[in-house]
Amino acid sequence: VLEIGLPNRTVLTTCAYCGVGCTFKAELLGDELVRMVPYKHGKANEGHSCVKGRFAYGYANHQDRILKPMIRDSYEEPWKEVSWDEAIGFAATRLREIQDKYGRKSAGVLTSSRCTNEETYLVQKFARAVLRNNNTDTCARVCHSPTGYGLGKTFGTSAGTQDFVSIDDTDVVLLIGANPAAAHPVFASRMKKRLREGAKLIVVDPRRSETMDGPHYDAVHHLALRPGTNVAVITAMAHVIATEGLYNEAFIRERCDWDEFQDYLEFVSDAANSPEAVEAMSRVPAGEIRAAARLYATGGNASIYYGLGVTEHAQGSTAVIAIANLAMLTGNIGRPGVGVNPLRGQNNVQGSCDMGSFPHELPGYRHVKNKDVREIYERAWGVPIDPEPGLRVTNMLDAAVDGTFKALYCQGEDIMQSDPDSQHVAAGLKAMELVIVHDLFLNETANFANVFLPGSSFLEKDGTFTNAERRINMVRQVMAPQSGYADWEVTQMLANAMGAEWTYTHPSEIMAEIAATTPSFAGVTYERLDELGSVQWPCNDEAPEGTPIVHVDGFVRGKGKFIRTGYVPSEEKANRRFPLLLTTGRILSQYNVGAQTRRTANMVWHGEDVLQIHPHDAEDRGIRHGDWVRMNSRAGETTLRAEVTDVVAPGVVYTTFHHPFNQVNVVTTDSSDWATNCPEYKVTAVQVAPSNGP
Ligand code: SF4
């Protein structure tokens, strides 16, 4: 700063990485961004930040940015730079030709959790009002779609119940399948502070993570379960609470459906659900499950925080329901210090779900089959809305391989690197006649595209992100869009080239349309966000300043719904051919597929994905620390370096998926959640052997 001069301009905006949603002051000298300073009045971060938000913004000016639109007739041909008019015209004409030839439902969109609420809203509107079908999906499909299903069924709304400060009132933290120290660092600091003050920690995770290690506290209970057994272990905790009479009958009588509870009580009390019955299969000692259940039920205010270690399973939705059952069973809902809190991975994954990105839901989680809701949008948009749910991304790829799905508009996602079973993704993309990638960089998916539309980074536009506590934060333009247009403008140009007559001149007008059509956003305006700093939805006439905690006097659905959670073993089982179970996660310095962080100084810390393997398993295979190893599954094979460590249990290996050259998702399979098709990234049967390198 001293060398180049002091900043002379400040813009308040929101970090574009994780679901904590930290507020930053972007400090500029003229038009040059000098530094990002965490804002002390930011409600989600109160002046704190992590190494990503503070230092990893340089990707916005990286030389790899593509700033000119490009087209080509097929993905095998070289790209040709063209004007915006030509690229938009090419894409619009091809989309129309494909729909004329193969039918309305042969095209679809993918929205992005990287983009703003306003941009996401426009992309799903593009599918529904311009393509005239519900073929819209989001990357939440591959992370928290089971949260949507599970919390929607039990509580009536698909969102975390608490604000972050709620943890200051908790006495027991039950952390399941999450490592906030790496993935949600600012929230992790707040949690660790509470643990240092004396709150107890129960961790359910196959791996010993950084979150569990801290000065002045230890995880009181670590249930180091075998990957794929969440439902069995959580249900066994409920069994203990039910059979030892530790449940909160008064809460259940007042707040939940009593008849459904009786049915659930009969189910969960069965000896087949006892800790002793699941001990061998889960590898968690029954005594530990019992002790953890007693602590959760009797330790005071108990709160549950969970991550993708819960959702990315064949029984992801069942596990979310099991978690909701635990909270209702003990009355840990509806006040500070308790609740059920999905730790959302991406900056706007909550918002992308809120905005109607799923193929069965219009904005605000209202089903497309609901005629009254459809009529709201038919009036607002002036077109009929298809009452039939559309295709999920996995179904789009299947249909492409089958020859019935032909065109995809993909904004801000890299499904080739992030989605499982890469070979199948490639086959689907290759089979399409039109793939439009709208992104900052030529990502792996763009290898199969024939239109590339340059994207705008979070620094180049106005809008909002919604964080993991339902907090709508302002994103403010720091610099002009480098390609000439913000993402919402590009979607509008494409829609209008196909005959729409959209006339938005600023994202605030899009938010006004969202507020006018979505009850939980009815009170949200840019003026109110400027005035209050942020608001948590629902924000409407009943709650003009937003809602920090939901389900206070009653569940959104009315009575809380207990649902049986029978355990079904994963199809991915360790066997003679594939004797180890692979599970995946993230590290602090990198972010998801690394498209951003790999193009910043954060690369100095972790330049490749490594495979963690227990010393016993390494020794059995003649593998030493730092050796190259070959890992193969029934889906495919990849090569990584080994990190021999006892943070993983014998029989379990672990890696990340931040680097495209490591191709971890070549190995993960097509196994997915029964209710939502969320991929089972967390359980893949593999074999690992020494290798000479890639
Ligand atoms: Fe950004 Fe999340 Fe880090 Fe906050 S905790 S600075 S939102 S990555």
Q: Note the pLDDT tens digit of each residue in 562-597.
A: 999 999 998 888 899 999 999 988 776 677 766 677
- Distance from residue 15's CA to the centre of ligand 1 (Å): 6
**What is the pLDDT, as a whole number, of residue 1?**
43
Tell me the Ramachandran region of residue 161: left when phi exceeds 0, alpha when psi lies from -120 to 50, beta otherwise: alpha
Q: Whole-angstrom Cα distance, residue 623 to residue 630?
A: 11
Task: Among 186, 189, 191, name the best residue to mutate to test ligand 1's pocket (greatest count of ligand atoms within 8 A of Cβ).
Answer: 186
Give φ, ψ of 37 to 5 degrees: -115, 125
Residue 210 alpha carbon to ligand 1 centre in Å: 17
**How large is the angle between the packed helices 316-330 and 230-243, nearest 10 degrees?**
20
pLDDT value for 462: 96
Please tell me which residue, 313 or 94, carries the higher pLDDT value.
94
**Predicted confidence band at 32 (pLDDT cuts at 50, 70, 90)?**
confident
| Ligand 1 closest atom vs CA 184 | 5
**Atom number of ligand 1 nearest to Cα 21:** 7
**What pLDDT is stored for residue 220 in this prediction?**
79
Binned at pLDDT 50, 70 and 90, residue 299 comes out as: very high
pLDDT at 594: 66
CA of 347 to the centre of ligand 1 (A): 8
Minimum CA distance residue for ligand 1 atom 2:
18
The pLDDT value recorded for residue 589 is 67
- Residue-wise pLDDT tens digits, 328-348: 999 999 999 999 999 987 889
Ligand 1 centroid – CA 552 distance (Å): 28
Look at residue 624 and tell me whether its pLDDT is greater than 60.
Answer: yes
CA of 53 to the centre of ligand 1 (A): 5
What is the residue with the minimal CA distance to atom 6 of ligand 1? 53
Considering only residues 602 and 621, tell me which one the structure prediction assigns the higher pLDDT: 621
The whole-number pLDDT of residue 2 equals: 45
Task: Enter the pTM of the model.
Answer: 0.90
Q: Which atom of ligand 1 is nearest to the CA of 45?
A: 4
* Residue minimizing CA distance to atom 4 of ligand 1: 22
Strand partners, 222: 203
Query: Three-class SS of residue 565?
Result: coil
The pLDDT score that the predictor gives to residue 484 is 96
What pLDDT digit, counting tens, does each position of 421-477 carry? 888 899 999 999 999 999 999 999 999 999 999 999 999 999 999 999 999 999 999
In whole angstroms, give the CA distance from residue 284 to residue 269: 19
- Token output for 510: 């899009």
CA distances from 248 to 23, 124, 550 (A): 39, 42, 19
Q: In angstroms, how far is CA 606 from the centroid of its own chain?
A: 22
- Residue 18 CA: which ligand 1 atom is closest? 2
Percent of the chain with pLDDT over 70: 96
- The residue type of 350 is Q
DSSP assignment letter at 128: I
pLDDT digits (tens, 9 = 90+) for 533-563: 999 999 999 999 999 999 999 998 999 999 9
| 334 C-alpha to ligand 1 centroid (Å) | 27
The confidence score (pLDDT) of residue 661 equals: 63
- Using CA positions, which residue lies closest to atom 1 of ligand 1? 53
Domains of the chain: 9-61 (2.20.25.90), 70-142+347-475+483-509 (3.40.50.740), 145-342 (3.40.228.10), 580-690 (2.40.40.20)
Residue of 24, 37, 50 best suited for mutating to test ligand 1, as the one with most atoms within 8 Å of CB = 50
Give yes or no for residue 604 having a pLDDT over 70: no
pLDDT of residue 59: 79
Question: How far is C-alpha 579 from the geometric centre of its chain's CA atoms?
Answer: 29
The DSSP bridge pattern shows strands 70-71 and 451-454 to be antiparallel
Which of the listed residues 14, 17, 465 should we mutate to test ligand 1's pocket, taking the one with most ligand atoms within 8 A of CB?
17
pLDDT the model gives residue 216 = 56
Average the pLDDT over 634-662 and give the result: 86
Q: At what angle do helices 393-402 and 422-431 cross, to 10 degrees?
A: 60
Non-local (6+) Cβ contacts of 442 within 8 A are 64, 66, 452
Q: For ligand 1, what atom is nearest to the CA of residue 49?
A: 6
Residue 586 has what pLDDT? Answer: 76
Average pLDDT over residues 386-409: 96
506 Cβ neighbours under 8 A, 6+ residues apart: 462
Token pair recorded at residue 248: 């909160």
Question: Which numbered atom of ligand 1 lies nearest the CA of 14?
Answer: 7
Given a cut of 90, whether residue 608 has pLDDT beyond it is no
Q: Mean pLDDT throughout 224-251?
A: 97
Ligand 1 atom closest to the Cα of residue 17 is 8
* Tens-digit pLDDT profile for residues 132-147: 999 999 987 877 889 9
pLDDT of residue 213: 73
**Nearest atom within ligand 1 for CA of residue 347:** 7
The residue count for the chain: 694
Indicate the burial class of 74 (C-beta count within 10 angstroms; 0-12, 13-18, 19 or more). exposed
Separation between Cα atoms, residue 469 and residue 20, nearest integer Å: 8
Please classify residue 133 by burial: count the beta carbons closer than 10 Å to its beta carbon, then call 0-12 exposed, 13-18 middle and 19+ buried: buried
Q: How confident is the model at residue 58 (pLDDT cuts 50, 70, 90)?
A: confident
Distance from the alpha carbon of residue 38 to the mean position of ligand 1, in angstroms: 10
Burial 86-96, CB ≥16 within 10 A → b, else e:
ebbbbbbebbb
CA of 185 to the centre of ligand 1 (A): 7
26 - beta bridge partners?
Answer: 11, 36
With 80 as the cut, is the pLDDT of residue 673 above it?
A: yes
* CB-defined site of ligand 1, < 6 Å: 15, 17-18, 20-22, 45, 49-50, 52-53, 184-186
Per-residue buried b or exposed e for 607-622, using 16+ beta carbons within 10 Å of the residue's own CB? eebbbbbbeebbeebe
Ligand 1: residue of 25, 48, 52, 658 to mutate (most ligand atoms within 8 A of CB) is 52
Q: Which residue has the higher pLDDT, 670 or 239?
A: 239
Exposure letters 410-428 (e unless 16+ CB within 10 A, then b):
bbbbbbbbbbbbbebbbeb
CA–CA dist 21, 24 (Å, integer): 9
| Ligand 1 centroid from CA 20, angstroms | 6
How far does residue 22's CA lie from ligand 1's centre (Å)?
A: 6
What spacing in Å lies between the alpha carbon of 467 and ligand 1's midpoint?
11
Average pLDDT across the chain, whole number? 92
3 state DSSP class of 644: strand
| Spacing, Cα 25 to ligand 1 middle (Å) | 13
User: 192 C-alpha vs ligand 1 centroid, how far in Å?
Assistant: 16
Q: Where is average pLDDT lowest: 34-38, 207-211, 314-318?
A: 207-211
